[in-house]
Chain A
Amino acid sequence: MIIFMTTIEKVKQLALSVTNVAEQYGLGSSITDLNELIKKAEQQQISLLVCGEFKRGKSSLINAFLNENVCPEAEGIATSVVSLISYGETRKVIRHYGRKVDEAETVESKTEEIPFERIADFADGTESDIQHTIMLEIQIPNERLKNGLTIIDTPGVGSLDPRHLLLTLQAIPKADVIYFVTDADEPMGKSELDFYKSRVISTGKKSRIVVNKIDSRSRVELKTILKDVQDKSQCDEDRILPVSAKRWKEYNSTNKEEFKEKSHLEEMYAAVEKDCLAARDNLSQLVRSQYIEILERLKKTIEQHKNELSDFSVLDEKKAQYQQQIAELKQLHDNVANPDSELRRKIAEILKESQKQVLGTFAEQSVLLSSNELDKILQADEAKSSNGDQFVLKKVNDAIVELSERLDKEINAGLNQIIETIGKQIELPECSFKGVINTQITPVQHTLSETTMSTVRQSIPLMGVATLSGIAVSVVAPAIALPVGIVAGIAFVAKNIFDSSRQERVNNIRRQITPRVQIAINELQRYIQNRYDKFNDVLLKCLKESANEMIKPMQEVIESIKQCEAGTQERKTEIQKIDCQLRFVDGLIAQTRVYNTNPFVSPQSNE
C-alpha cells in the first residue's frame, strides 16, 4: 500500500536523497538549514499567543480552555510575565528572570525551577513583587496541549507598567497564531485598535479577535458589539470569536449544557484547531517551498557548472593553435627533410645556377689569364728588364689572386643567396627569422663550414645554434684555403731562367709559366668545386640534423593536442554525469511540487 506521508516527512525523505549532490555543489549548509526547519516542523509545536489590554480576561480564558487554573487571575492584579504553557508528562515550571543591565534593554537572564503552586508568586504584581521574572515555562499534562499546542499568555498592554507592553511585544514574534482579546463590556478603544492593527495584523500571522465576557450582554447587545468590533477592526466576521470564559468555567465545573452553549467553547475549540492546522500547513508549505528553492538553486548551480564545462572554446582554441603549429612544423620538416620539397629544389637550383655562373666567370677569366693577360704582362717593358721575372711573377700572382677573390665573392654571393632563401622559406610567424646573413664572410677569415652552419641554423627556427654548430665544425674541418701557394711555385721556376737573353727570357718565362698558370687555374677550379661540394655536404648534414631536431618539438605539440583531446573527453563525460544529476533534480522538483497538493478539491468541499 502507498503510505501517505506528511509533506514534512516526504520533504525529509527527498532531502536526504539529494544531500550528496547538494554538498558536491556547495549547498550542504542549505540542506542543514532545511533539516533544522524540518526538525521544528516535525515537533509540530504551534504557538497560540493570547494578548490584549489588561483585565480583558486573558488568563481566565486560558484557564477555561485548559480546564484548570494555570494562569493566576486574582481580582485587581494584572499578569506581569509571559507564560509559555505546553504539554509535559509531569507538572514543571521554569522561571526565567533577570535585571536590566543597560539602557538597550539587555537583560541578564537566569533560570530556575519553581513549584507549580508558586506560579502566582512570580506572575502577578510589580517587577520587584515577582522578583524580576520575565517568563514562565509551564509544562502540564493537559490533553488540550498534547497535540503540540503551546499557549502563550502575555501581560496586558495599556497598563501603567511599560514593562508589560515590552514583554508582550517580545513574545509576539514567537507566535504562529495570535488571539487578541477584547471585552464585551467595553467598546474597542483607540489604543486597543492601534495595538491590534500595528502589532497583530502587521505580523501577517493568522489571528482572531476574541470578544470575552459576552455573558453580561443580551443577544441584541452582543450583535451590536460584534458589529462595532468588526467595523473598527475591519476584521472578517468569521475571525471574530465571542466567548464567555466565565460560563466556560461554569460548564467545566458543572457540565451543564446551558453554560456550554453560552460560553461558545465549541466555537473556540474549533477555531483553535482550524488555526493550528492552518499554521501547521503553513509550516509544511514553508518547508516545501524552502526545499524547492534549494533544488532550484541547486539546479541553477549545476546548469551553470554545465555551461562552464560546455564552453569548449578555450580548449578548442588551444587545440587549433597546436594543430596549426603541428601543421607548420610538419611543413617545415618536409621542406627540410624531403629532397623533392620546394625549398630543397630551389636550393639546388640556386646552387647549380651559382656554380654555373662562377664557373662561367672562371672559364672566361682563366682563358684571359693564360692568353691575353699573360701576353700583356710579358710584353710590358718591365717584363723585359733585368728584373722582368720578378715583375711577371708579381703580375701573374696578382692576377690569380684577383681572380680568386672575384670568384670567391661570386661563390659567397651564391651561397648567401641560398642561405637567404632558406631563411625566407622557413620563416614562421611565431618564430620569425632573426638570423643575420653575414655577406662579408670570406673563406680566408672564416672556415666555410662555420659560416654555412651557423647561418643555416640561424635561419631555421627551433634550432639550438650553439650546440649544433659545434657538431658541424668537427665534422667539416679543416677549412679550404685559397690556392696562393701556386704562385710561389711560379716564382721559384722563374729564377732558373734568369740569365737568358731578354726576348728569349720572355719566351722562356712564357714557356715556363704557362703550365704553372694552368696548374694554378686548375687548382682554382678544384677550389671552386670543393667549396660548392663542401657547402652542399654541410648544408645537407645541417638540414638532416635540423629535421631530426624538429621531431621532438613535433612530438611535444602532438602530446599537447592529445592532452587537449583528453580534457575534452573528460569534460564530455562530466557533462553526461551532470545531465543525469539535472534530470534527478528536475524529477525531485516535480515530485516535491505535486506531493500532497490536490488541485481537484472544489472550493465547497474545501470548506
Chain B
Amino acid sequence: METNNIFVANGLIGSSNPIHQEGLDTCAIKAQQIILNEFGIPCTEAQLVQFSYEHGWYNGNGTSPENVGNLLEVAGIHVTRQANANIFNLVSELAQGHKVIVGVDADELWHNSTEEEQHQNWLEDFNNDGGIPDHALIVAGIDTSDPNNIQVLLTDPGTGDCCKAYPLDQFMDAWSDSQCYMVSTDVAVPQSVPGMENFNPEVGHLDFIAGVPYTDFQIFNDMSYGIPVFAPLDFGYCYPMNSFVDAFFDFAHQDIGYVALLNNQYLFTDYMNHSLIIPQLVNTYDLGLPNIAFNPMNDWNHYAFDHHVGIMTNDLYNDFLTQSIMDFNAIGDIQSAMYCEQQMMMLDYCNHYNYDFYDTFYCSPMPIV
C-alpha cells in the first residue's frame, strides 16, 4: 500500500517566513495569499489586507467565514463554500487538485499538548456548545502512511508551519468547532505546484487515495453524506463519522472488505441515512457507467439472454459483474474493471440493506447534478 501525501503546498512570496501571517488577525487573508501565489498571482499579504479593507471584508478584526474566498474570486478563481462538510468531502476536494481553507478553533491545534490544555479546550467546547472557530488555515494534505495514526497536514499562517502534521482526531475536533466549514477552489492548482506530481490532469483527480482507487473512494464519499459527524446519546455524544473514517482506513489497508464494513461492528452503520446516501450513489453510478466499455457482446442484455434470465435480480447482477470484472481484467481494460468494482460496491450496499439494485439505480429519482 503506497503512502499518500495528498498535496504539499509550500513556498510563498512576500515575507521572511512565507507562510506566517504578518497581522494578528489576517490568517484567512494569508491563507488566500498562499493559494493565490500557488496559482501564480504575485500578490503580497499587505496588498490583500488593503484590498480586503477597502471592500469591507476585513476591518482589523479578522475575516468572517462567508468572506473567506472573496479574494480568490476577485482573482478569477471560483470557490465553493461548504458548511457541515466531512473529512471525505475534504479529501475529495484535495484529490481533485483543489485548494482547501478550513475554519478551526486554533487552541485545539496549538495548545492541546498538556492535560490541562486539553481540559481547558474541552471545557471551552462544552461551554460554547462546540467551541469557537477563530482561525483559518490550509489543509495541505493527509498522510495515511500509518493507518493507526492518520495525520492531517496543515499549512498554518498562524504558526508559519508548512504542512505540519496533526492527528486526524485532533484536527477533526478543531475543525468541528467551525461546523466543519471549508472553502475550496473549483479549479485545480497548476500541475507545477509541489504536491501535484500524482495528479492526473486528464481525468481531473488522483488515481488513488490512501491506496484506494478513486472509484472506490467515491463510494465512501457518497456514503459520508448520510453519516452524521456526531450523534447525541443519553449522556454525551458518539461519533459515527469517526467510526466511518476508521472503516475506510481498514478497507484501505485491506484488513477488511467492503461487505464486512457494513456489518454491525462499526458504529456508523447504526446512523446511516439512506435517503441521503442513495441519491449520491445514483449520481456516481450515472457518471461511472459510461466509463465501462460494455458492448452488446458483454453487456447485461447479452448475459441475460445467454443465461436465459429475464428480470435483473441482485444475485444475477452479482454474477454478471463478477464475470465482467474477470473479463475486463483479462483483456487489460483496467478502467472498466475498476468501474465494475465500483458497481459491485453499490450492489453490496443494496444487498446489505435489502435494496433492489435495478429499482435503485435504473428506476431511481433524478440524479444530483
**Chain A positions within 8 Å of B193 at CB level:** 2
B45-53, B103-111, B118-126, B324-332: which lies at the A interface?
B45-53
Task: Check B201 against A587 for contact (C-beta < 8 Å).
Answer: yes
**Chain A positions within 8 Å of B74 at CB level:** 599-600
Minimum CB–CB distance from A239 to chain B (whole Å) comes to: 28
B interface residues, Cβ below 8 angstroms from A: 10-13, 18, 37-43, 47-48, 50-51, 71, 74-78, 187-188, 190-194, 201-204, 289-291, 293-297, 299, 301-302
Task: Check A584 against B41 for contact (C-beta < 8 Å).
Answer: no
Task: Check B187 against A590 for contact (C-beta < 8 Å).
Answer: yes
Q: Which of A14, A565, A576, A586 contacts B291 (CB 8 A)?
A: A576
Residue in A10, A13, A583, A600 whose Cβ sees the most chain B Cβ within 10 Å: A600
**Chain B positions within 8 Å of A387 at CB level:** none
User: Closest A-chain residue to B203, C-beta based?
Assistant: A580
Q: Once the chains are docked, how many angstroms separate the CA of A439 from the CA of B132? A: 100
**Chain B positions within 8 Å of A593 at CB level:** 76
**Chain A positions within 8 Å of B43 at CB level:** 598, 600-601
Minimum CB–CB distance from B84 to chain A (whole Å) comes to: 26
Minimum CB–CB distance from A605 to chain B (whole Å) comes to: 7
Interface string of A574-589 (1 = CB under 8 A from B): 0110001101101100
Q: Which of B11, B190, B290, B291 contacts A1 (CB 8 A)?
A: B11
- Whether a CB of chain B sits under 8 angstroms from the CB of A386 is no
Interface string of A4-39 (1 = CB under 8 A from B): 110000100110010000000000000000000000
- Whether a CB of chain B sits under 8 angstroms from the CB of A569 is yes
Task: Check A594 against B40 for contact (C-beta < 8 Å).
Answer: yes
Q: Which of B11, B71, B297 contacts A2 (CB 8 A)?
A: B11
Q: Which of B10, B47, B76, B301 contacts A590 (CB 8 A)?
A: B76
Question: Can you list 24 pairs linking A and B with CB atoms under 8 Å apart?
Answer: A1-B10, A2-B10, A2-B13, A2-B37, A4-B13, A13-B192, A562-B297, A569-B295, A570-B295, A573-B293, A583-B204, A587-B188, A590-B76, A590-B77, A590-B187, A591-B190, A593-B76, A594-B41, A597-B76, A599-B51, A600-B51, A601-B47, A602-B50, A602-B51
Residue in B188, B190, B191 whose Cβ sees the most chain A Cβ within 10 Å: B190
Task: Check A580 against B204 for contact (C-beta < 8 Å).
Answer: yes
Q: Once the chains are docked, how many angstroms separate the CA of A1 from the CA of B41? A: 14
A interface residues, Cβ below 8 angstroms from B: 1-5, 10, 13-14, 17, 562-563, 565-566, 569-570, 572-573, 575-576, 580-581, 583-584, 586-587, 590-591, 593-602, 605
Task: Check A565 against B76 for contact (C-beta < 8 Å).
Answer: no
**Chain A positions within 8 Å of B48 at CB level:** 600
Task: Check B77 against A17 for contact (C-beta < 8 Å).
Answer: no
Task: Check A573 against B291 for contact (C-beta < 8 Å).
Answer: yes
Minimum CB–CB distance from A568 to chain B (whole Å) comes to: 10
Task: Check A595 against B201 for contact (C-beta < 8 Å).
Answer: no
Task: Check B291 against A595 for contact (C-beta < 8 Å).
Answer: no
Q: Which of B202, B289, B291, B297 contacts A584 (CB 8 A)?
A: B202
Q: Once the chains are docked, how many angstroms separate the CA of A51 from the CA of B71? A: 46
User: Closest B-chain residue to A586, C-beta based?
Assistant: B187
**Chain B positions within 8 Å of A600 at CB level:** 43, 47-48, 50-51, 71, 74-75
New A-B pairs, 10, CB < 8 Å, besides A2-B193, A10-B40, A569-B299: A3-B192, A562-B302, A563-B296, A573-B293, A590-B77, A590-B78, A591-B187, A594-B39, A598-B41, A601-B47
**Chain A positions within 8 Å of B71 at CB level:** 600
Task: Check A599 against B202 for contact (C-beta < 8 Å).
Answer: no
